[in-house]
Amino acid sequence: MNCINWLDNYFKLFKDTIFQKEIYGDLIRIKDIILNASKTGNKTIFAGNGGSAAIASHCSVDLTKNAGVRSINFNEASLITCFSNDYGYEQWLARSIECYSDKGDVVVFISSSGKSRNIINAAKKSKEVGLTVITLTGFDSKNELKKLGDINLWVDSKAYNIIEMTHNIWLLAIVDMIIGKAEYTV
């Protein structure tokens, strides 16, 4: 295997997914939605499974710590296991939305496949209780989660690492846009 060619091709996949100028308007709209919610005392909620949960944690913490925008994520083990035990895994996140959200909050659902039942159920609950729903998905452009969002960012790929890293970069670009720069110290 020629590793130089392999890496060239691999990083081209990222270039082709991350730098889609047609999503710039959506990234700016998401920034505005998050800032407007914050100005009215609302918060931004991030949720995902697996690697997407790690992205949710990272973006939530950066949004709060670095951008000064109140944000939470649902990656607390006792919350997940308690609510999953009591309500079933497919409903734990919807119940979390019910318990921890306020009308006017923004919720960001991250799911590579857009088919995770717990995320889809939570998106439906979010719409029901008056939240603005933002989705980040990949794989099939007609995935169920994408149909539920007010704004939907979709990555045209079937590779988890490409999709997840693209989601991470897009979300952190929003955080940095709120801050006003990409380099800062705390």
What is the assigned CATH class of domain 21-179?
Answer: alpha beta
Domain ranges of the chain: 21-179
For residue 183, pLDDT beyond 90: no
Which residues, other chains included, contact 83 with Cβ-Cβ below 8 Å and sequence gap of 6+? 91, 92, 93, 95, 96
Residue of 58, 50, 143, 127 lying closest to 94 (CA atoms) = 127
Q: pLDDT value at position 185?
A: 64
In the chain, beta strands by DSSP E = 44-48, 71-73, 106-110, 132-137, 151-154
pLDDT digits (tens, 9 = 90+) for 38-83: 999 999 999 999 999 999 999 999 999 999 999 999 999 999 999 9
Structure token digits, residue 69: 């925008």
Q: pLDDT value at position 44?
A: 98
Helix H or strand E encompassing 30: helix 24-39
pTM for the full predicted model: 0.94
Question: Distances from the Cα of 114 to the Cαs of 1, 7, 79, 169, in angstroms?
Answer: 34, 28, 23, 18
Neighbours of 1 (CB within 10 A): 5
pLDDT digits (tens, 9 = 90+) for 109-161: 999 999 999 999 999 999 999 999 999 999 999 999 999 999 999 999 999 99
